[in-house]
Amino acid sequence: MEALPKNITIEAEPYPYTFPLSSTALLLIDLQRDFILPSGFGDIQSGTNLTAVTAVVPNCVRILQAFRELELPIFHTREGHLPDLSDCPSSKLNRQASAPGTTHSKVIGDPGELGRLLVRGEYGHDIVDECRPKLGEVVVDKPGKGAFWNTNLLEELVGWGITHLIVGGVTIECCVTTTVREANDRGFECCIIEECAAGYNDDFKAPSLNMIHWSQGLFGFVSSLPTLLEALTPTRHSSSAPAPSLGFESPPSTPPVWDGRLTLASLRKSYKSGLSPVIVATSLYARIEEYSQTKSTFIRLVDRSALISYAESLQKLFPDLTNLPPLYGVPFTLKDSINVAGIPTTLACPPLTHIPSRSSKIYSRLISLGAIYIGKTNLDQFATGLTGCRSPHGVPASVYNPDYISGGSSSGSAVSVGAELASFSIATDTAGSGRVPAGFNGVVGWKPTKGTVSFSGVMNACESLDCLSFMVTSEGGVRDVRKLWNLVRGYDPDDPYSKAPRSLPLPIVNALAEKKWKFALPDRKAVAECSPQYRKLFYQAIGGLHEIGGEVKEGDWGLFEEAGKLLYDGALVNERLASLPGNEWVGREKDELHPVIREILQNVLKKGVSAAEAYKDIRKMTVLTRKVNTTLFNPSHPSYIDALIVPTAPFHPRISAVLKDPITINSRLGTFTHFGNVLDLCAIAVPAGHYMEDGIKMPFSITFLGRGGSDARVLEIASLFEGLVGVGARNLV
């Protein structure tokens, strides 16, 4: 298929509308049975003028098909209320029905032929069959006419990196235009497709659309369906003439190809052209069996025959290549602190090993999206450590050089991705466990804001500071990270630290092509802690940031340093004990513990921190978090920054050095990561160059950190950096 240009321009009112393919979504409003079918809410309200709303359905199907074929994000909304109507104000429930001589014979919640009118879960509330959302498309339930009021639509759009919206749906006089006005206020560039939007009063259509584009674009743009569909047809943009038609359907002659790459895009393209997941599973297993570090990377691997029969069953389950779930056939590994029902979770600690009866929510979600589970990866015991040298299952080494540490605690996760044995790994990151090993293995490590992805069914290390992390191949990069995170994130009432929808700061949407952003660095003294190669590469990476809109600002490194110290030097480390079966347990099982972990736990117990000291440290943590959020990460403060940029780790030690000095080196490795969860930040570690050590190429990584809730912004900046240095820092050899 010919590629489409990055930016597409279509004829529109009041002037041509340009949208970047990478940040444009389709937004379909309220294509619900209640608004379209006879006897639905709309039918009752409108006095049976359903002609126009019925006619938009096939048009919306065409636009859906075009977006699905191009794999562009799709958002659907549904208007409706809780069964007890507690979220339905009188302005919706009573006003029209109370009018003298009202025609509103029924109101929201009344029984109708399609179920209770506009009530969630009822037949009439759902979207018409023709436009039914597919797995991976976002469905937003809204209580109001506008789709932004009291919904997570803004968070969802921003999370996916959307700045431009192509809009259709019903009704034009009500929910479509209200939503476009709301979207406009939030910074989105919207274009309504006129054949895809309709209402109950034919006279309203033209004025509704005119008001949108009046005064040179008061709220947005209006264009037509043929114009949009033509612009989304790749051959239109091809310089060569289309292939001549043979006059008959030729059978597919080329076998589906897979180049062996594990990026989400590469696998998807191959699967859509008919590649069997059995082929991927078979060749992946051969890779895993051949890999020199397989034993120390995996604590448990799925059997070869089980993996292949799983791939076969997946293929049978999804025979339609045009309708594959978003992570169909994508192989992944899990850190062995994440539960899979029926399979032991070990935490790299024999006395804590147990067989869970229920899977973690993250595992279940990934499986439902079509991903293929490969196995459980090695970790530093209890996910405590940054070295990868604290496991009874062996010491995984960096995929670059067997003498150097893999980093931890998510050691096996980083190695499994760095060695290209999986497309991604789900790990955890409390003190830097998702970032440091990513850096030491040349992969991307993403630690979103705590509480944005469910931790249910994951064993805790330090509960209030634990966070899931994502590792993806350097080639998959920020694109794969963003896709994975968006597909799995969301509020989970079963996770006590899950962040409720709309509890995070309001994001800013910037649809400008030229991005401007501000960053701060650690002070020179902190960077001086780095090895000479790391120092040099760090300043080299920073040196080019002005080319991608970055402006350096004075930061207050002291705040981050102080927060980092709270993690292990103060009382917070005691929370790790709270995740274990009890203080006596440590004494009882001491011979079964890894010697370094035993020493750490015994030191914590010996120190005997009082409850008062713990509360003081919790207070310090709260105050410091407040301080960074009201100064550095506050857009209206003069010292505002979008991101703090640090080397992911200060140096890359040899395994032999860590074995000799396991605790001090470990703590120094966290110089640039420890404060991340203490201050409730989000962070992404990305490859940022290479250097030679002992004649062998070694990876260097930098981390972008942002305020809790600014995940999309931090991903956007990291993606600009990737654009500058090439994915995997290919251009920085």
Instruction: Check residue 171 for interaction with ligand TIU (CB under 6 A).
Output: yes
Query: Could you tell me which stretch among 168-176, 355-363, 430-438, 603-611 binds ligand TIU (CB under 6 A)?
Result: 168-176
Are 600 and 567 contacting, i.e. CB atoms less than 8 angstroms apart?
Answer: no
Which of 46, 409, 411, 423 does the annotation list as catalytic?
Answer: 409
- Residue in 181, 221, 177, 159 with CA at minimum distance from that of residue 509: 159
Q: How many helices (H) and strands (E) does the chain have?
A: 27, 21
In the set 10, 17, 30, 422, which binds ligand TIU (CB under 6 A)?
30
Are 224 and 195 contacting, i.e. CB atoms less than 8 angstroms apart?
Answer: yes
Measure the CA–CA gap between 411 and 391, rounded to whole angstroms. Answer: 10
- Residue in 442, 393, 467, 394 with CA at minimum distance from that of residue 649: 442
Residues 176, 194, 165: CA angle, nearest 5 degrees: 55
Which of 92, 142, 269, 335 does the annotation list as catalytic?
Answer: 335
Q: Which of residues 566-625 bind ligand TIU (CB under 6 A)?
A: none
Closest separation in Å from C-beta 271 to ligand TIU:
36
Are 270 and 317 contacting, i.e. CB atoms less than 8 angstroms apart?
Answer: no
CA–CA distance from 280 to each of 86, 254, 372, 626 (Å)?
Answer: 50, 18, 10, 48
Query: Could you tell me which stretch among 50-58, 167-175, 297-305, 326-334 binds ligand TIU (CB under 6 A)?
Result: 167-175
Neighbouring CB atoms inside 10 A of 723's CB total: 13
Which of 406, 433, 456, 719 does the annotation list as catalytic?
Answer: 433
Closest separation in Å from C-beta 648 to ligand TIU:
47
Closest separation in Å from C-beta 699 to ligand TIU:
51
Q: Which is nearer to ligand TIU, 161 or 169 (CB)?
A: 169
What string marks each residue from 476 to 505 as x (binds ligand TIU by CB under 6 A) or -? ------------------------------
Measure the CA–CA gap between 691 and 537, rounded to whole angstroms. Answer: 8
Measure the CA–CA gap between 702 and 649, rounded to whole angstroms. Answer: 8
What string marks each residue from 137 to 156 as x (binds ligand TIU by CB under 6 A) or -? --------x-----------
| Residue the block writes with tokens 């420890």 | 674
Q: Which is nearer to ligand TIU, 171 or 428 (CB)?
A: 171
Known catalytic residue at 409: yes
What string marks each residue from 246 to 265 as x (binds ligand TIU by CB under 6 A) or -? --------------------
What string marks each residue from 187 to 226 as x (binds ligand TIU by CB under 6 A) or -? -------------x--------------------------
Instruction: Check residue 644 for interaction with ligand TIU (CB under 6 A).
Output: no
Measure the CA–CA gap between 409 and 434, rounded to whole angstroms. Answer: 8
Q: Which of residues 537-566 bind ligand TIU (CB under 6 A)?
A: none
Return the bridge partners of 692, or none.
697
Instruction: Check residue 81 for interaction with ligand TIU (CB under 6 A).
Output: no
Instruction: Check residue 361 for interaction with ligand TIU (CB under 6 A).
Output: no
Instruction: Check residue 45 for interaction with ligand TIU (CB under 6 A).
Output: yes
- Please work out the total of residues on this chain that contact ligand TIU, with binding judged by CB under 6 A: 10
Closest separation in Å from C-beta 29 to ligand TIU:
6
Q: Which is nearer to ligand TIU, 179 or 677 (CB)?
A: 179
Measure the CA–CA gap between 350 and 361, rounded to whole angstroms. Answer: 24
Known catalytic residue at 667: no
Instruction: Check residue 440 for interaction with ligand TIU (CB under 6 A).
Output: no
Beta strand 298-301 pairing with 74-79: unpaired
In 598-722, which ranges are E strands? 643-647, 682-693, 696-706
Query: Could you tell me which stretch among 171-179, 389-397, 535-543, 629-637 binds ligand TIU (CB under 6 A)?
Result: 171-179
Closest separation in Å from C-beta 5 to ligand TIU:
34
Which class for 674: exposed (0-12), middle (13-18), buried (19 or more C-beta within 10 A)? buried
Instruction: Check residue 76 for interaction with ligand TIU (CB under 6 A).
Output: no
Are 449 and 708 contacting, i.e. CB atoms less than 8 angstroms apart?
Answer: yes
Measure the CA–CA gap between 726 and 535, rounded to whole angstroms. Answer: 20
The pair of structure tokens assigned to 683 is 């962070």
Q: Which is nearer to ligand TIU, 77 or 378 (CB)?
A: 77
In the set 56, 72, 158, 170, which binds ligand TIU (CB under 6 A)?
170
**Nearest-10 crossing angle of helices 361-368, 477-488:** 110
Instruction: Check residue 175 for interaction with ligand TIU (CB under 6 A).
Output: yes
Return the bridge partners of 644, or none.
520, 705
Closest separation in Å from C-beta 181 to ligand TIU:
13
Query: Could you tell me which stretch among 169-177, 272-280, 644-652, 697-705 binds ligand TIU (CB under 6 A)?
Result: 169-177
Instruction: Check residue 125 for interaction with ligand TIU (CB under 6 A).
Output: no
Measure the CA–CA gap between 479 and 587, rounded to whole angstroms. Answer: 46
User: Alpha carbon 548 to chain centroid distance?
Assistant: 23
Closest separation in Å from C-beta 174 to ligand TIU:
3
Known catalytic residue at 433: yes
Instruction: Check residue 35 for interaction with ligand TIU (CB under 6 A).
Output: yes
Measure the CA–CA gap between 479 and 162, rounded to whole angstroms. Answer: 13
Are 435 and 414 contacting, i.e. CB atoms less than 8 angstroms apart?
Answer: no
Instruction: Check residue 174 for interaction with ligand TIU (CB under 6 A).
Output: yes
In sequence order, which residues have a C-beta less than 8 Å from that of residue 645 and are 6 or more positions away?
519, 520, 521, 542, 545, 702, 703, 704, 705
Q: Which is nearer to ligand TIU, 47 or 608 (CB)?
A: 47
Catalog residues that contact ligand TIU under the rule CB under 6 A. 30, 35, 45, 79, 145, 170-171, 174-175, 200
* Residues taking part in catalysis: 335, 409, 433
